[in-house]
């Protein structure tokens, strides 16, 4: 009899233990805000072959990233009303969430964005399904220097990783900032290399700011995305010299100072920036040269480079083919936050709101009031 009672007791304890284990929270609890989700209960927005490899271009992220595209759908912030999606073929528009933010990316079934929290330099990364379900926070404390004329990115989504800059407390109590990576669900965050701030991720490289304490100067660096040696880092900053390429000296006393306090653009392995009234191109290919494009003079140097074309301001919004220098005047807008997601449209902000216009200057449309 005692054996029977003991057997029942053991079975009861095993069942109780299993129930307790199954109810334990995961290693990361997400903030959730279902009140601002707008579920749609529909099929996927994209075909498998249309899935993005990168959530948004580094060039767009440096320009606020108010719009992203995957397949036939464009996702953008509708002013202070949240995120909407629009089918570029049919024109169908649907609300996704009423949450307000910026730096939007789309990869697979999820939209990622920085939620506005009233702090210019620290961000909360949130995600929501493209059908309006499952609004939740992925990570917080992402660092981005958003001071005047300082353009950085809070994060970049590439393939199955999220890249960002974050302050990490060391074992001795010191706090250091690192370029980091984590899984798409916010798990397994780990530092990659010390950095001042994160600039952006492309299909091939991670771009970030560093600081040379010994010589008191800013540096822009590129790290291969394929996990190659950390020694393979290109230093991408220099004085521009009109009309000629610029060699990159490696000795500490002659390495050129780089003051990246104006707009610049990143695409692939290439950094474009504006220096001494000149448009400059630098590649992370160890060629030890910068190419100075002296016949492109910009007024206010807001820029976005897409598909070998520069979109910028020059007596209004213009596009310039970098190979031929062909200039197309788009309109007279005093545009900023220029975003490009395909070969058809230019998205931009101005004092009156958020707009798009065809890359031939036609079909202008206002998408939202002031953002």
Helix (H, G, I), strand (E, B) or coil at 295: coil
For residue range 203-218, list pLDDT tens digits in order: 999 988 887 677 666 6
Mean pLDDT of 189-206: 91
Sign of CA dihedral 38, 49, 72, 336: positive
Tokens 């404390």 identify what position? 141
Nearest to 128 by CA among 118, 117, 114: 114
Mean pLDDT of 216-240: 63
Residue 184 pLDDT? 96
- Which among 109-113, 150-154, 332-336 has the top mean pLDDT? 109-113
Q: Indicate if the pLDDT at residue 288 is higher than 60.
A: no
For residue range 339-351, list pLDDT tens digits in order: 999 999 999 999 9
- Of the pLDDT bands very low, low, confident and very high (cuts 50, 70, 90), residue 119 is low
Nearest to 182 by CA among 239, 130, 140, 132: 140
Helices (H), 62-121: none
- Of the pLDDT bands very low, low, confident and very high (cuts 50, 70, 90), residue 247 is very low
Q: Indicate if the pLDDT at residue 280 is higher than 80.
A: no
Distance in angstroms (rounded) separating the CA atoms of residues 110 and 133 = 9
Residue % of the chain over a pLDDT of 70: 68
Q: Indicate if the pLDDT at residue 6 is higher than 80.
A: no
- Of the pLDDT bands very low, low, confident and very high (cuts 50, 70, 90), residue 285 is low
Distance in angstroms (rounded) separating the CA atoms of residues 99 and 142 = 18
Q: First vs last Cα of the chain: how many Å apart?
A: 76
- Give, as one character, the DSSP assignment of residue 277: T
Contact (CB, 8 A) for 321 and 308: yes
Mean pLDDT of 329-347: 95
- Of the pLDDT bands very low, low, confident and very high (cuts 50, 70, 90), residue 287 is low
Q: Indicate if the pLDDT at residue 290 is higher than 80.
A: no
Q: How many CB atoms lie within 10 A of CB 71?
A: 18
Pairing of strands 101-107, 110-115: antiparallel
Q: Indicate if the pLDDT at residue 53 is higher than 80.
A: yes
Residue 276 pLDDT? 57
Mean pLDDT of 253-282: 65
Mean pLDDT of 51-72: 96
- Which among 97-101, 116-120, 226-230 has the top mean pLDDT? 97-101
Residue 220 pLDDT? 78
Q: Indicate if the pLDDT at residue 250 is higher than 50.
A: no
- Which among 144-158, 220-234, 345-359 has the top mean pLDDT? 345-359
Q: Indicate if the pLDDT at residue 17 is higher than 50.
A: no
Residue 292 pLDDT? 63
Residue 278 pLDDT? 64
Distance in angstroms (rounded) separating the CA atoms of residues 157 and 153 = 11
Q: Indicate if the pLDDT at residue 369 is higher than 90.
A: no
Q: Which residues pair with 205 in a beta bridge?
A: 224
Name every residue whose Cβ is closer than 8 Å to that of residue 148 and which is 6 or more positions away in sequence: none
Residue 127 pLDDT? 97
Q: Which residues pair with 162 in a beta bridge?
A: 157, 182
Instruction: Tell how many helices (H) and how many strands (E) occur in the chain.
Output: 2, 29
Distance in angstroms (rounded) separating the CA atoms of residues 130 and 132 = 5
Residue that wins the pLDDT comparison between 71 and 283: 71
Mean pLDDT of 174-178: 93
Q: Indicate if the pLDDT at residue 263 is higher than 50.
A: yes
Residue that wins the pLDDT comparison between 341 and 291: 341
Distance in angstroms (rounded) separating the CA atoms of residues 356 and 341 = 11
Distance in angstroms (rounded) separating the CA atoms of residues 8 and 14 = 10
In the sheet that holds 155-158, the strands lie side by side as 155-158, 161-169, 175-183, 190-194
Mean pLDDT, the chain, rounded, equals 79
Domains in the chain, CATH or no CATH each: 48-240+258-369 (2.130.10.120)
- Of the pLDDT bands very low, low, confident and very high (cuts 50, 70, 90), residue 299 is low
Sign of CA dihedral 185, 197, 120, 66: negative
- Of the pLDDT bands very low, low, confident and very high (cuts 50, 70, 90), residue 243 is very low
Residue 27 pLDDT? 32
Residue 241 pLDDT? 31
Mean pLDDT of 89-116: 94
């Amino acid at each position: 009899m005692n054996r029977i009672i003991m057997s029942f007791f053991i079975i009861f304890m095993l069942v109780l233990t299993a129930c307790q284990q199954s109810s334990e929270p995961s290693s990361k609890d997400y903030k959730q805000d279902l009140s601002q989700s707008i579920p749609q209960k529909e099929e996927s927005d994209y075909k498998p072959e249309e899935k993005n490899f990168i959530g948004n271009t580094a060039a767009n992220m440096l320009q606020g990233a108010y719009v992203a595209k995957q397949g036939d759908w464009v996702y953008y912030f509708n002013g202070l009303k949240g995120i909407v999606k629009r089918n570029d073929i049919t024109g169908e528009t649907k609300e996704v969430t009423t949450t307000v933010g910026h730096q939007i990316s789309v990869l697979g079934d999820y939209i990622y964005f920085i939620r506005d929290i009233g702090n210019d330099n620290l961000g909360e990364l949130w995600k929501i399904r493209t059908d309006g379900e499952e609004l939740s926070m992925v990570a917080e404390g992402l660092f981005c220097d958003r001071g005047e004329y300082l353009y950085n990115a809070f994060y970049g989504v590439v393939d199955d990783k999220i890249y960002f800059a974050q302050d990490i407390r060391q074992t001795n109590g010191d706090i250091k900032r690192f370029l980091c990576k984590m899984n798409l669900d916010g798990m397994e965050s780990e530092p990659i290399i010390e950095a001042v701030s994160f600039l952006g991720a492309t299909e091939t490289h991670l771009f970030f700011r560093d600081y040379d304490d010994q010589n008191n100067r800013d540096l822009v660096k590129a790290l291969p995305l394929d996990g190659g040696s950390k020694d393979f880092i290109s230093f991408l900053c220099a004085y521009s010299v009109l009309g000629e390429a610029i060699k990159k000296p490696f000795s500490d006393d002659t390495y050129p100072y780089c003051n990246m306090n104006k707009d610049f653009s990143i695409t692939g392995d290439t950094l474009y920036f504006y220096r001494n009234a000149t448009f400059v191109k630098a590649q992370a290919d160890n060629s030890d040269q910068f190419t100075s494009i002296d016949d492109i003079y910009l007024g206010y140097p807001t820029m976005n480079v897409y598909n070998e074309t520069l979109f910028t301001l020059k007596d209004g919004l213009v596009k310039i083919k970098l190979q031929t220098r062909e200039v197309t005047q788009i309109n007279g807008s005093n545009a900023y936050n220029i975003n490009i997601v395909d070969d058809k449209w230019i998205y931009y902000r101005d004092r009156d709101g958020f707009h798009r216009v065809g890359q031939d200057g036609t079909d202008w449309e206002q998408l939202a009031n002031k953002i």
